[in-house]
Amino acid sequence: MTVLQVGPLMPTLTETLQRRYQALLLPEEGELRTAFLAEQAAGVDVAVTSGGTGVSGALMAQLPNLKAVINFGVGYDTTDVDAARERSILVSNTPDVLTDCVADTAVALLLDVMRGFSASDRFVRAGQWPEGKFPLTRQASNRKVGILGLGRIGGAIAHRLVAFGSTISYHNRRQVAASPYRYYADLAEMARDVDVLVVAAAGGAATQGLVSREVLTALGPHGYLVNIARGSVVDEDALVELLVSGGLAGAGLDVFAHEPKVPQPLLELDNVVLLPHVGSGTVETRAEMESLTLANLDSFLHSAIVLNPVY
């Protein structure tokens, strides 16, 4: 079968795909891509991509014999799953292996934004300490924390925060059986009742703008937002406006709506911690993600199934 790499991947994964599977590399948009697809599209059986690139419905339509999309990453919102399902194209991802590191990142962001650690580091580096003390910050332990999306990652975040004395509640499309945490059917109501709202929901059309202006306003001027999911889940314009105006106490963000673009006003705020989408960015996690990506690919090539189907 012919394997096609769609978008950039880890150099080691790209090298393995080319060496072990003689994978083709889809050119960027333009004449080279048009010529490549005219010559190669009909022979492509499986695409390997990442959550940052994905395989759109338009690209699927140009690959008439595509049978599987192997995704490097847990997020697959950039791949048109509905179009894949209609054509019986398998889609896989790499769950579980990044759960711990992403959950660690969420807790780190919560601690950082509430205690002002990054801001105080800048304070010291700028030579401001001799001029006066750093302003008081907020206690991070023993807080009421609401989690949007109590899946693998959301559950791991909750588990960690319980050790900090946090009272956990959550909002999901449906209540999680046997969960010890309080369930809210209404997201805005939960936001009103918590000190910190942690976004751990999957991206995609179903969650686009789910953390709306109404939800952010309900979180209020003493509330903090932490997002390690997808930037699309949050109304970014409303988030920026409320942070600038004091309508929110602060935010810890690893993801943004139009990455790598970050809204300019956020760069000027000391009550916002900004990370370049590094939630799973550890040597250990990326190695496991690569291994699972290849395992899904091997499984499909040898038995026409994937180990981690997304539907």
- The predicted pLDDT at position 63 comes to 98
Same domain for 180 and 137? yes
**What pLDDT does 93 receive?**
97
| Residue 152 is a catalytic residue | no
Give a yes or no: residue 178 inside a domain: yes
Q: Which of 230, 236, 286, 290 is catalytic?
A: 230
> Averaged over 167-174, what is the pLDDT?
96
Active site residue 230: yes
What is the rounded average pLDDT of the residues 105-121?
98
Catalytic residue among 143, 277, 286, 290: 277
**104/245 same-domain check:** yes
Answer yes or no: is pLDDT of 29 > 90: no
Q: Is the pLDDT of residue 129 over 90?
A: yes
Instruction: Answer yes or no: is 50 within a domain.
Output: yes
Asked whether residue 163 falls in the same domain as residue 201, the answer is yes
106 in the same domain as 88: no
Q: What is the average pLDDT across 284-302? A: 98
User: Domain check: are 287 and 270 in the same one?
Assistant: no
In a domain, 121, yes or no: yes
Same domain, 30 and 80: yes
Domain encompassing residue 241: 99-274
Q: Is 182 within the bounds of a domain?
A: yes
Same domain, 122 and 68: no
Residue 79 domain-assigned (yes or no): yes
* 112 found inside a domain: yes
3-state secondary structure of 65: coil
Residue 19 burial by CB count (10 A; 0-12/13-18/19+): exposed, middle or buried? exposed
pLDDT band at 160 (very low <50, low <70, confident <90, very high): very high
> HEC states along 88-125?
CCEEECCCCCCHHHHHHHHHHHHHHHHHCHHHHHHHHH
Q: Is pLDDT above 90 for 22?
A: yes
Give the tens place of pLDDT for each residue, 216-227.
999 999 999 999
Q: Are residues 49 and 165 in the same domain?
A: no
Q: Is 277 a catalytic residue?
A: yes
* Annotated catalytic residue within 15, 86, 214, 259: 259
The CATH number linked to 147 is 3.40.50.720
The pLDDT value given to residue 55: 98
Backbone angles phi, psi at 178, to 5 degrees: 70, 10
Structural domain tally of the chain? 2
Same domain, 58 and 136: no
Does 35 share its domain with 171? no
Looking at the structure, do residues 139 and 72 belong to the same domain, yes or no? no
Report the pLDDT averaged over residues 246-272.
97
Residue 243 lies in a domain: yes
Identity of the residue numbered 148? L
Q: Report the pLDDT value the prediction gives residue 47, as an integer from 0 to 100.
A: 98
Reply yes or no on whether the pLDDT at 113 is more than 90: yes
Q: What is the mean pLDDT of residues 147-176?
A: 97
Among left, alpha and beta (phi > 0; psi -120 to 50; other), residue 202 is beta
Same domain, 189 and 250: yes
Residue at 309 is within a domain: no
